[in-house]
Structure 1
């Protein structure tokens, strides 16, 4: 929050100010009854001779809840203030949540669009109320029923006067079909909504609703008649961040754990509607068939093998002190999510868990792994967080296959081992035999060989389960172990669904598509269909477009109208058509650092991978006399001997191999300016993940003053200012070495607005000291404001004497 409180001089942004309760009569009465309640509680505990824990427990819980709520309310107030202020003042105030155009050069400002949204907002209010009532309400009610919370219903739905803001717009103009326009919108909503609901006969409300995410709008197909665009597809590329404040009687739920249940249900329903692979289609022209907008269009399949984790945090408390953890993992790709089993009492768990994600946008979607410590409870979410890691899917697409260790973020230590492969989709039957053979190689999990896209248009002449009344039909669609339910169509025997689904198929030669029509009022079946997927193998392009199929165990003329498309998974190979972001050169200055291709360890987003043109060797060293604060200017790029045709291969190699492909010139064989040795570091900042990544590769030529006392060097790093245990990172100790190698990666989550005000202290020490001490060998201070982090950098630094300040 510190960065959010900083104001640039002259800024007009009115940040919220923390204040005590107003000195009013109502507040005095409230305080009076509060004191009476506290005294009464103490008296009751003594009178009943209860344990003091009955008093201390609720008090501690109340204090923690109040603190969490104050922080949460201030964060929401800050976001609302930003939403009501001009974009210029938001930038001047240096808030953490700056518009996307500040970070990405290819994202354009869109203040004109914000003005249009402000005028349209009253009309959007009406549409959103209908959407909440018809779609969100029944879905949330069904999800809350799983937590024994019944009867959820919206009563009042007012979205207020604050319209969403667009932080930037990017329109793609490369590698696209001529029949579509793709636009990404950085959407942020922090409104003054007033939504009331009832759940379990408890009335409550939602205020200060916030949603932030990247929305993609696909305009397709382009037509020659007005409005020139046949339809729109609107969806979030990844799950948006959603926050809100509970009020009313439900305020008792607004605390960590309990409020997460309602929040998770809402996020799940948003994901089912418009987070990939789910899309919200809008038809603009009657000349365009609905199937063109609603038929799923997967680009490929990401095969995920979560192998193991190492050195996780210990969260359990045992009789003898600090115990271990019972870790499990949640894997998320857009709206798709998987959960591993938990492994008891182990900080180095091995899951060998396999899953597959259908990818609809390989250039923009992310894979996220969240690790949790399982704790048994009474239905309350009380598991402890162990860290997370995220990876751009485009990085896997480029490599075809990727075997990587990912350091956990938001954790003191820990890493996970992932094996990933990208599989394109093919309509060639010759690829099927190879795909089926590959499924037999994985014995610890079931993997697929094809993807089936299903579009259900409508049903005709369904029978009625009760005489003289029409049914309320919905469909249950199943392939393998995956089942999807359509929405219920009320009081009709000719329901129109117009919905599409994608299913993974293990073996299309023997698997079936099962569809059942059910009457919601009675629960009775109205008909069913069992369709052999092998039939599609005989069709042209492995597709069946808009065909009526007769329903079994139904009326004599009952039928379902649908389209099917089968695509076969091809083996993982490198993709060459992933769009590279433009990389601008670092600003001119005295001997600026020249970036070189860094290892996979620092390549946390594929869009920032240096190209062959940036892999230029430079042996010039700044030998000017400067203070220790200027040590970063004395960094020297690694001399590069990899030619331009090998750069793509290097980026896919493990970091331990990449380092050894760099030559060690006379610059790297010296002991540095102070004669204390030199250290090789890779630096990188991921703008998408807001993460600073530093890889400690190796140290060269540590001076050996006593041949009988060879040092045991290790490296520790601090993020300054504000030295703390949370920002500390430390390598392993290498025994008896003056030229140790580490190849360890460390990460810090840092907002872009704070990056250039920080510096990193890198200290090399040895464990061999008097009385178990760790004497310092040398130190480097890296000022982050001296680097252009749009490129990864691998640099040599001279170790200097420890900075006593």
Structure 2
């Protein structure tokens, strides 16, 4: 057989001759001819069947998009791989986008010596990583794919290649660390030449160019006096690492934007479940160390996240006249914890008012990421949601301030901002603060918020009953606190299973909540043992904990035990600081806010012809009725806020204040219950209260007395309108129901505004009484008005009083 020799140039070697047989050339020519015949045949078939040209254009467009997308990813992967193979000097000179951490941060040390060690160790690490992927990742991926109706996932070949991970820098913490541990952050980057193949539903696919990049924290603890001097190591990523790979083979058909992402997302989730905070990968180095010291969860606190609203988002939906609006929702990521708000239809200024609580296991380095999307219906199970922007904020500054209220500008978006409020809840074992925490949490009227945190370690079970056939059970433990349920892995064919697994639960109320634990047999689906533990019992224990000990299992054998350890942490709100005047300090005063500037033109001034109408908010008064009545504040309807109630004591008073024009001070004006006010326009009774924890201004319109009736045949139909000044924006408008034919209407309606303490001091309430019947003059239906300056008094305690109504000072806009 004839042969032809080609010369191939190797950049590191001389010209190398490569043999190519004529049979290979014939095969290549035949394949090329077949593709051309297939293309011509497809075009002929489309014309012959009189099909639309869209049948041809659609696949061509998708193919072009796919090729372009793959080229961009391939270029990125090649650059990353070149970086992993290059030495330190080459990396700097290449000016690659993702430079090592030591280039930017002076406290990060270079680690070229460590990279050389890893290169020598890589063959051994390679074997360990293969076993870990096969034993841990494969079952989890297979289980996750079941949700997408995809079965039979298994790895066939796992070769991680010859390119080892690269350390971009190492930072060792010397301050604010325990003497019993060493903490260091490692900038880990891996862009290997792996060769991985798998089967999914009988179809073979492959993965190549696998890449992972993230900040890996290494905690060496506890330090011991025997060799190896370190009892164990905890490995975990502070935040989700960046993971990417390329699908090959038949699976390459799925590698389209939105389709191939499904497999990537599942792999990221499984890595996060294994070693992204609050999950840690513990490694024991000494037999003298108890596993509970490495595997017992050790949270540092709870971060309460209030996703309030967003504004000026991009329009992604297509309307009749071009771009419509969006159906935005927010996704919050903290390590492996993911939360999502509901979607608000057809708006670019959504108001979510949604609360989340996240466990924080490390104040140093963790970030909160907010991602906004426009919801669109999925097509063939593929997510079609459009990206609206991203914003991030570090946990550390929130811990220092205690509370943070700010607008974040969205990145990777043309425009848009998101309004968030963060509260840091520290951990305490002082039971005296529990009642205060419960009270403050109940004020928020969000029923699923927590007051405590339970850390639990499931060590093992003993003497579980066997089935009738004397076969040992395949057991796993299921733990529940309220609506939160978690479970251990399955231990096969064992009546004394060992799990050694830690869990954390957020507890709404430890005085009433219960931990439920069941041991299940996977083969039969039956319960082989269970127990209930009242968390109130922990409140009487020393340090609110029980050390590892066996507890009796019910509905099981007489000697069946479960060995566990538990510790209860009580959540503690940050202290509310007071300024020199005794008012609430503004926690946002040090923030640069886009909406906090109040211009001189926004201050409300009254016309000089009405000097007696210049009045400010009333302070608490001493004269109250001896028998106060109770009033229930109704909650605005929301899918996120449960139908809970909050009782306030309404102190109905019969006195009033007015401003002294000469010295601009407040003086008491004697009134009676039948008083029609200073200008004879009647009086309105209001309750005003500000909830610091909820960041809510609550306004209750109770009733109006003695509205004027100039025409006995024309009784007014009054209602009340409320605006926040100085903007008087449409979003701040609130309105009561209309009461027909009544000069003394009773409303008892509650309204809420979401305001930070800093915003509260810059706002005024404009309360206007309006009638649907115009009785004063043509086109004017305003019966009276009152302006209340919210920055002049402390409304953290409910204030209820009567306010005189005055003639309008400016035109009211609907």
Global fold match (TM > 0.5) = yes
> Which of 651, 656, 665 pairs up with 2:590?
651
* Distance in structure 1 (CA, Å) of the matches to 2:586 and 2:177: 26
Instruction: Report the equivalent of 1:359.
Output: 360
Q: RMSD between aligned alpha carbons?
A: 2.3
Q: CA deviation at 1:333?
A: 0.3
**What SS does the corresponding residue of 1:151 show, helix, strand or coil?**
coil
Instruction: Report the equivalent of 2:763.
Output: none
* Distance in structure 2 (CA, Å) of the matches to 1:565 and 1:273: 22
Structure 2 unaligned runs (5+)? 1-10, 14-23, 578-584, 600-726, 728-814
Instruction: Report the equivalent of 1:412.
Output: 414
Instruction: Report the equivalent of 1:507.
Output: 509
Q: CA deviation at 1:26?
A: 5.7
Contact 2:331/2:341 (8 A) holds in 1: yes
Instruction: Report the equivalent of 2:103.
Output: 102
Larger deviation: 226-235 or 520-529?
520-529
Contact 1:352/1:444 (8 A) holds in 2: no
Instruction: Report the equivalent of 1:438.
Output: 440
* Distance in structure 2 (CA, Å) of the matches to 1:116 and 1:230: 22
Q: CA deviation at 1:651?
A: 3.0
Contact 2:377/2:383 (8 A) holds in 1: no
**What SS does the corresponding residue of 1:114 show, helix, strand or coil?**
helix
Q: CA deviation at 1:563?
A: 0.4
Q: CA deviation at 1:46?
A: 2.2
Instruction: Report the equivalent of 2:805.
Output: none
Larger deviation: 47-56 or 388-397?
47-56
Contact 1:422/1:573 (8 A) holds in 2: no
Counterparts in 2 of 1:349 and 1:225: CA distance versus 1, 3 Å: same
Q: CA deviation at 1:653?
A: 6.3
- Please say if 1:134 is aligned against 2:73: no
Instruction: Report the equivalent of 1:169.
Output: 170
Instruction: Report the equivalent of 1:549.
Output: 551
Larger deviation: 442-451 or 106-115?
442-451
Q: Deviations over 1:112-164 (max 9, x none)?
A: 11011111111111111111111101111111111111111111111010000
Aligned pairs for 1:28-177 (under 5 A) are: 28-177=29-178
Contact 1:330/1:369 (8 A) holds in 2: yes
Contact 2:457/2:564 (8 A) holds in 1: yes
Contact 2:198/2:205 (8 A) holds in 1: yes
**What SS does the corresponding residue of 2:224 show, helix, strand or coil?**
coil
Instruction: Report the equivalent of 1:718.
Output: none
* Distance in structure 2 (CA, Å) of the matches to 1:35 and 1:516: 64
Q: Deviations over 1:564-586 (max 9, x none)?
A: 000011112499xxxxxxxxxxx
Contact 2:334/2:369 (8 A) holds in 1: yes
Instruction: Report the equivalent of 2:562.
Output: 560
* Distance in structure 2 (CA, Å) of the matches to 1:397 and 1:405: 18
* Distance in structure 2 (CA, Å) of the matches to 1:188 and 1:651: 37
* Distance in structure 1 (CA, Å) of the matches to 2:114 and 2:234: 19
Contact 2:407/2:594 (8 A) holds in 1: no
Q: Deviations over 1:187-221 (max 9, x none)?
A: 00000011111112111011100000000010111
* Distance in structure 2 (CA, Å) of the matches to 1:355 and 1:469: 45
* Distance in structure 1 (CA, Å) of the matches to 2:507 and 2:402: 21
**What SS does the corresponding residue of 1:35 show, helix, strand or coil?**
helix
**What SS does the corresponding residue of 1:223 show, helix, strand or coil?**
coil
Larger deviation: 520-529 or 392-401?
520-529
**What SS does the corresponding residue of 2:127 show, helix, strand or coil?**
helix
Contact 2:405/2:588 (8 A) holds in 1: no
Contact 1:465/1:526 (8 A) holds in 2: no
Contact 2:372/2:389 (8 A) holds in 1: yes
Contact 2:517/2:532 (8 A) holds in 1: yes
Counterparts in 2 of 1:413 and 1:652: CA distance versus 1, 3 Å: closer
**What SS does the corresponding residue of 2:108 show, helix, strand or coil?**
coil
Instruction: Report the equivalent of 2:225.
Output: 224
Counterparts in 2 of 1:118 and 1:276: CA distance versus 1, 3 Å: same
Instruction: Report the equivalent of 1:347.
Output: 348
**What SS does the corresponding residue of 2:97 show, helix, strand or coil?**
coil
Q: CA deviation at 1:30?
A: 4.3
Q: CA deviation at 1:475?
A: 1.3
The structure number with the bigger radius of gyration is 2
**What SS does the corresponding residue of 1:304 show, helix, strand or coil?**
strand
Contact 2:553/2:560 (8 A) holds in 1: yes
Instruction: Report the equivalent of 1:801.
Output: none
Q: CA deviation at 1:442?
A: 2.0
Counterparts in 2 of 1:460 and 1:87: CA distance versus 1, 3 Å: same
With structure 1 as the length reference, what TM-score do the two structures score? 0.69
Q: Deviations over 1:641-680 (max 9, x none)?
A: xxxxx999853464666999xxxxxxxxxxxxxxxxxxxx
Contact 1:396/1:422 (8 A) holds in 2: yes
Instruction: Report the equivalent of 1:463.
Output: 465
Counterparts in 2 of 1:49 and 1:653: CA distance versus 1, 3 Å: closer
Larger deviation: 46-55 or 111-120?
46-55
**What SS does the corresponding residue of 1:651 show, helix, strand or coil?**
coil
Q: Deviations over 1:522-573 (max 9, x none)?
A: 2222211211111100100000110111111122211110100000111124
Instruction: Report the equivalent of 1:249.
Output: 250
Aligned pairs for 1:286-435 (under 5 A) are: 286-377=287-378, 378-435=380-437
Counterparts in 2 of 1:30 and 1:445: CA distance versus 1, 3 Å: farther
Aligned residues: 573
With structure 2 as the length reference, what TM-score do the two structures score? 0.68
Q: CA deviation at 1:41?
A: 2.1
Higher relative contact order (CA 8 A, sep 6+): 1
Contact 2:405/2:587 (8 A) holds in 1: no
Contact 1:13/1:89 (8 A) holds in 2: no
